[in-house]
Amino acid sequence: MRLEGKVVFITGAGSGMGRVACRIFAREGARLVATDIAQGPLGEAVREVESAGGKIVAVPGDVAEPADVERAVKEGVRAFGRLDVLYNNAGIFPDDDGSVVDTPLSTLDWTLDVNLKGVFYCCKYGVPALLAAGGGSIVNIASFVALVGCTVPQDAYTTSKGGVIALTRSLAVQYGKQGIRANAICPGPIETPLLRQILSDPAKRALRLNRIPLGRFGKPEDVVHAALFLASDESAWMTGTTFVVDGGITVNYF
Ligand SMILES: NC(=O)c1ccc[n+]([C@@H]2O[C@H](COP(=O)([O-])OP(=O)(O)OC[C@H]3O[C@@H](n4cnc5c(N)ncnc54)[C@H](O)[C@@H]3O)[C@@H](O)[C@H]2O)c1
């Protein structure tokens, strides 16, 4: 098993890619410290992992609230004695996020609070736990929109994800000698509840699909398998990277 003996802290565990990650990581031997703001879906993730024989402790909370994150890390360490992986996955994509001119400031604040400051808080409270364990792996979920411009903008989201990539590189450089690796994943459009609004509109769906060389939207598993590699010791000499999992969308000129 590829994560045997490892304790993985994961945010946004109740839905989409986080939910699938719980299932796959537990199957690979990880013990999970799972958190989400949505308690019902988090409970379902717990039941799914436990019914397959996996080990998981759930701590509901908001990644945008530092006290919630600190508590989740503490409860995880109390339950399993250590943390080896921070899988910072929770994120939002508000419907009214558009250009800098159109996006309400409240949407900008909310997006930065969850997508960027949430990752910062998880690292703030999680890195000491990784150091205490003698090192570990940080997997931060960014997005392909932080790598290319887009004429149909979501500028608050893009700003938040660009910050995640910059923070990831900084962590990689600071903590490499202490055995902590930090990598960011940049998913392309993945069929999860996050994109439900866009992908249920035939015109919006076709516009995006047309840009993807591999001819389909991503599945949660496409990203989770990359995260599994980055969380495991198989990627022991990788740090500071932006790992692009996007069906080729970012290399498509026409
Ligand atoms: N789906 C895509 O196309 C896509 C593309 C690129 C990047 N991403 C990123 O991947 C990550 C996972 O997205 P997904 O598609 O699985 O989305 P999703 O909406 O299915 O799941 C996100 C989870 O995060 C939780 N969450 C939201 N706000 C939270 C908060 N404040 N505190 C704690 N939990 C919170 C939600 O309750 C939900 O369970 C996000 O960071 C997203 O930005 C998604």
Residue pLDDT tens, the chain, 254 long = 999 999 999 999 999 999 999 999 999 999 999 999 999 999 999 999 999 999 999 999 999 999 999 999 999 999 999 999 999 999 999 999 999 999 999 999 999 999 999 999 999 999 999 999 999 999 999 999 999 999 999 999 999 999 999 999 999 999 999 999 999 999 999 999 999 889 999 999 999 999 999 999 999 999 999 999 999 999 999 999 999 999 999 999 98
The answer to whether 194 and 16 have CB atoms below 8 angstroms apart is yes
- Active-site option among 87, 125, 157, 175: 157
The answer to whether 31 and 56 have CB atoms below 8 angstroms apart is yes
Q: Please work out, in degrees rounded to the nearest 5, the angle formed at the alpha carbon of residue 90 by the alpha carbons of 102 and 133.
A: 140
Q: Which of 17, 46, 62, 140 to probe ligand 1 with, by most ligand atoms within 8 A of CB?
A: 17
Token pair listed for 88: 């910072």
DSSP 63: T
Q: Please work out, in degrees rounded to the nearest 5, the angle formed at the alpha carbon of residue 28 by the alpha carbons of 22 and 33.
A: 40
DSSP 115: I
* Residue 140 CA neighbour count, 13 Å, CB half: 35
Token pair listed for 27: 């199957």
Tell how far the Cα of 92 is from the centroid of ligand 1, in angstroms.
5
For residue 157, indicate whether it is catalytic. yes
Provide the residue ranges of all domains of the chain, joining segments of one domain with +.
7-245
Phi/psi at 128 (5° precision): -55, -35
Ligand 1 atom nearest 62 alpha carbon:
32
The response to whether residue 36 sits with its C-beta less than 6 Å from ligand 1 reads: yes
Tell how far the Cα of 193 is from the centroid of ligand 1, in angstroms.
8
Burial, 11: exposed, middle or buried (Cβ in 10 Å; 0-12, 13-18, 19+)? buried
The response to whether residue 104 sits with its C-beta less than 6 Å from ligand 1 reads: no
Tell how far the Cα of 192 is from the centroid of ligand 1, in angstroms.
9
Cα–Cα distance measured from residue 231 to residue 68, given in angstroms and rounded to the nearest whole number: 23
- Please name every residue paired with 187 in a beta bridge, in sequence order, or none if there are none: 245
The response to whether residue 18 sits with its C-beta less than 6 Å from ligand 1 reads: yes
* CB burial string 81-102: b at 16+ within 10 A, e below: ebbbbbbbbbbbbbeebbeeee
CATH of 7-245, one of 2.60.40.10, 3.40.50.720, 1.10.10.10, 3.40.30.10: 3.40.50.720
- Please name every residue paired with 185 in a beta bridge, in sequence order, or none if there are none: 141, 243
The response to whether residue 11 sits with its C-beta less than 6 Å from ligand 1 reads: yes
Helices (H), the chain: 16-27, 39-51, 66-80, 105-111, 118-132, 155-175, 196-199, 202-209, 220-231
- The residue assigned the tokens 């990359």 is 226
The response to whether residue 158 sits with its C-beta less than 6 Å from ligand 1 reads: no
- Which is it for strands 242-245 and 180-187: parallel, antiparallel or unpaired? parallel
pTM score > 0.85 for this model? yes
Q: Which of 15, 48, 125, 204 to probe ligand 1 with, by most ligand atoms within 8 A of CB?
A: 15
